[in-house]
Structure formats: C-alpha cells, structure tokens
Amino acid sequence: MEKRQKVLFVCTGNSCRSQIAEGLLRHLAPNQFEVYSAGSHPSKVHPNAITVMKELSIDISNHTSDSISQYLDKHIDIVITVCNEANKVCPVFPGDAKRVHWSIDDPFQGWDTNPSHLDNFRDTIKDIKDNIIKFLCEQESS
C-alpha cells in the first residue's frame, strides 16, 4: 500500500480558513492524504467555521488549533498556506516539502456567532473548495 502524503494547511490563527481546508480535504479525499492544520499564532476553532461545515455534514468540532512548530518534525509532504500573512512567516520544513500558497479572504469578524457573519464563512468554504478541487486534479495528473 502506498504511503499517504501528509498535507498541512497553515493560516495565522488556525481558527477559520486552515480548519475549513483541513475538514474539506479530509472529506473530499478521505483515503488519499493525512491532513492537518496549524497557525503561526494559534487560537481556537471559530464557532462559525464549525457551524457552516456542519451544513455540509462535515464535523470539525473536535479540531484543535495548533502551532506550526508542532509539525516541523512530522515529515510533511505538502504545506499549503491559505493566507498572505502565514505565507510570509511560514518556516521552511525539513526535507523536500512542497510549498503551495492560496490567498483566501479571511471570514473572521470577531469571535461572536452572529448569524449575519455566516455568509462570509460560506464564501470562504466555496473559495477553499475550488482550490482543493484544483489541487486534487493537479495531484492526479502528476
């Protein structure tokens, strides 16, 4: 059996975009990758991210917000930064980890769970899903 590639999504707070990306890739390619997410300044998983992912029947409520440093020795194959700030501060990973950058707008508008903010998170899901589908197509053709 072929070893699954390890993919790490990186954002600043590891609360919204990287968490959504982790959940989506696990859902869309459950047997293809080992998927993780981390932040340069981890905080907590945003409740709105959990809510909009549940709308897709994807449960990220057990995810944790982790520091990038926890993954430096985990033999990560692909590092995908999902925000410009994370792309600037993301460390170089040992080995020949491939770096990919997606500039995804931040849905974060504070920690409140105001339903009026959910559309920002839904837009983020759409953007990330489009990038993941493109990424999966590229993986198949390489």
Annotated catalytic residue, options 45, 76, 90, 132: 90
Determine whether 90 is an active site residue: yes
Annotated catalytic residue, options 7, 8, 11, 35: 11
Determine whether 11 is an active site residue: yes
Determine whether 16 is an active site residue: no
- Interacting residues of 80 by C-beta distance below 8 A, sequence separation 6+: 7, 8, 9, 10, 21, 100, 101, 102, 135
Give the DSSP letter of residue 31: T
Order across the sheet with 78-81: list the strands.
33-39, 5-11, 78-81, 98-101
Which residue in 39, 98, 33 sits closest to 63, CA to CA?
39
Annotated catalytic residue, options 60, 83, 125, 132: 83
What positions carry a catalytic annotation? 11, 83, 90
